[in-house]
Structures are given as structure tokens and as C-alpha cells.
Amino acid sequence: MSKVDPAIRLPSLEGLAQAPIPTRYGNFQLRVFHWDDPSAHPALSKEHCALVMGDLKGRRSVPVRVHSECLTSEVFGSLKCDCREQLERAQAEIGKRGFGAILYLRQEGRGIGLANKVRAYALQASGADTIEANEQLHLPVDARTYDVAAAMLRELGVESVELMTNNPAKIEALRSLGIAIERRLPVLVPANQFSAPYLDVKRTRMRHELPSSSSHFKAGE
């Protein structure tokens, strides 16, 4: 596969800060970048992060997770999604290999912002699924873009990646931006009674490569 294509125009990326950060999965470098996307929701941060282990310049088959921010699960412990567990499993995989990167994109709520995400949660509590809730709010089902992820990979000097994802649309988007993806690494998290409907919508309506889950759970279990 070809490396990241330098001919593809990507956004201007500004490095703001970096420092070592010890974690329970090993020692990483945390790099913070500024990227101004005029099409992004105004509530979203313009600062994005790369959590990097090892020198990735010129490396091929680098394990990479492109991860969108999820305050509700990663900070408050919400059980409605699998975001926190996916993030932690990606860190663990990189720690095991001794090199890799997590590109942490500040695209809360699949790019609609925190307040809109919580409004969608309220509609879900009344019976809407995740797609229906966004549609009722007249919002995109998925407003995320991945230009900044491609720009960060170029800045890190990565030649090709093994992408940790269940989402074929993410693979298609990154490949369209010139990212060479050697293979997909599944990140499968067992469903709980609260996340099962969310995961099944991902599987049946958003093409995510996931096993069936909601049939295993009944209300109150």
C-alpha cells in the first residue's frame, strides 16, 4: 500500500504543546494541536490531541485509533455507549506493542456538540434511537470529519496504519485523504443493557462491524 499521499491537500496544523504522560498502559507523549475547521460546530474545541508511544517516523503498520471525544462515558462513566472501553483497549494494545498512536478528536456527539448530544439523549429516553434522535433535532447523524487525523499522521511521519475501528466509513474517509491502511483491528466491547440498543443501531443502520447484542438483554436486567 502507498504511504500518506503528500499531494492531497490537508488543513494547516499548528503544534501547541507536548509532554510525556505516564499511564497505566505505559509512557506516552501527549501532543496538542490547533486546527481550525470552519465547517465544524461552533461548540467544538479546536484543540486536538495525539497520544503517541515510540518514534513513528517512517514506520509502517502503526496501530492507530482515531477516537472522537465522549465526555459522558470517558469522564462521567455513562453506560450508554462503548467509547471509554474502546479508548482503553486501544491504549492497552499500543502499550503491548510498544508503539502506536491514539488521535483524540474533539468531535463530541459525532460532531454535533455536547448540548445537542444531551438533547439527543433526552429524546432517546422517550424511545427514539440514536439516529432518530438526531433527525428529530434536524442534525446530521454523523457530522465528523477526519482531515485533522490525516494531518496529524502526516506530522508524525507515519507511513501506514493498522486502524483500530469497527466503522467502515472511517476507513473509507481516511483512505480518501491518502492514509494507507494495512488492515483493520476490531475493537469489540461486550454490550450491557444500556449500550445494547446503541450498538445494534451502529450495526444495522451505520454498517459497523459488530455482533448482535440487544437480543441478549431485557429491560431491568
Of 65, 89, 144, 154, which is the active-site residue?
A: 144
Residue 97 among the catalytic residues: no
Q: How many helices (H) and strands (E) does the chain have?
A: 8, 7
Residue 5 among the catalytic residues: no
Whole-angstrom distance, CA of residue 156 vs CA of residue 200:
35
Of 142, 147, 154, 200, which is the active-site residue?
A: 142
Taking CA atoms, 65 is separated from 138, 157, 220, in Å, by 29, 16, 34
Is 3:160 a contact under the CB 8 Å cutoff?
yes
**Residues 46, 175, 3, CA angle at the centre, nearest 5°?**
100
Query: What three-state secondary structure class fits 219?
Result: coil
Strands 161-164 and 181-185: parallel
Active site residues: 142, 144
